[in-house]
Amino acid sequence: MKDQLIYLLELQTIDTKVKELEAARQGLPTRTEPLRRDLGKLETMLGGERQKLAETEAWKKQQAELLAREQEALRAAKGKLQGSKTGKEYNAASREVDNKRKSIHDREAELKKVSEALSGSAAVIEERDGAIAGLRAQLAAEEAEIATKVEDLARQIAEASAGRDELRARIDKGWLKTYDTLAGKRGYAVSPVVGGTCQGCQMRIPPQLNNILARMESLEMCPRCGRIIYRKEMIEPPADAAPEPPPA
């Protein structure tokens, strides 16, 4: 059964590596989400500012047309004033001229304020346009970089998966099914036992089971977590173990 255990460990090593690479690949596109959110906010703000600017420009045009009519009316009022024949007509025309002048003065002052506001809005829009262009360029650069990394990770996944199918074919179908079930439920299926303790769930296994593992005549499972277990020192000798002497 030692060969079956080794196959399972090799399969687990491959699957763990592939899972890590897959997780890294799937996580890459999410890196651009904060940038996309910022870009979306700026674009929304810019759209609102453009709409306000368009509305203000339309209002300014309307007021300019009214101003032109009032200036025309002022000229007509001045004509009445010059053509007055009686004091009553003169006084009425004089009041009309004064009123038109005041109205024109007030409208010109308002148009001046609007023109200044339009100038400020245009500057803000220009600034927003620059910021959006910068974010779009940054987003495009990150997406290109991510695409390259995704492609590289796909290559690494293919390399890490090489030989996986052949390895699975060497494993007993019953244990392979157990392995797949455990890997799906617990993340990994095969766990070492160190000092009589399962490293998957940190529970001490019965001494009799520990002795069975030492003989390596069968595959066994942890009574608590259900993982396939093995005594680590039987497969992976301690790092400080003395090397065997060469044959004479």
Alpha-carbon separation of residue 149 from 16, 107, 144, 211 (angstroms): 20, 62, 9, 48
Assigned token pair, 212: 């069975």
Instruction: Read off the pLDDT band of 183 (50, 70, 90).
Output: very high
User: Do 200 and 191 contact (CB within 8 A), yes or no?
Assistant: yes
231 within 8 A of 217, measured Cβ to Cβ: no
pLDDT above 70: percentage of residues in the chain: 95
Fold of 2-24+164-235: Helix Hairpins (1.10.287)
Q: State pTM to two decimals.
A: 0.65
Radius of gyration of the chain (CA): 42
Q: Does domain 26-161 have CATH number 1.10.287?
A: yes
Kindly list the domain boundaries of the chain, sorted by start residue: 2-24+164-235, 26-161
DSSP class of residue 86 equals: S
Residues in the chain: 248
How far is it, in rounded angstroms, from Cα 92 to Cα 199?
105
Q: Do domains 2-24+164-235 and 26-161 have the same CATH topology?
A: yes
For 50-100, the pLDDT digits (tens) are 998 899 899 989 989 988 999 998 999 899 888 888 888 899 989 988 998
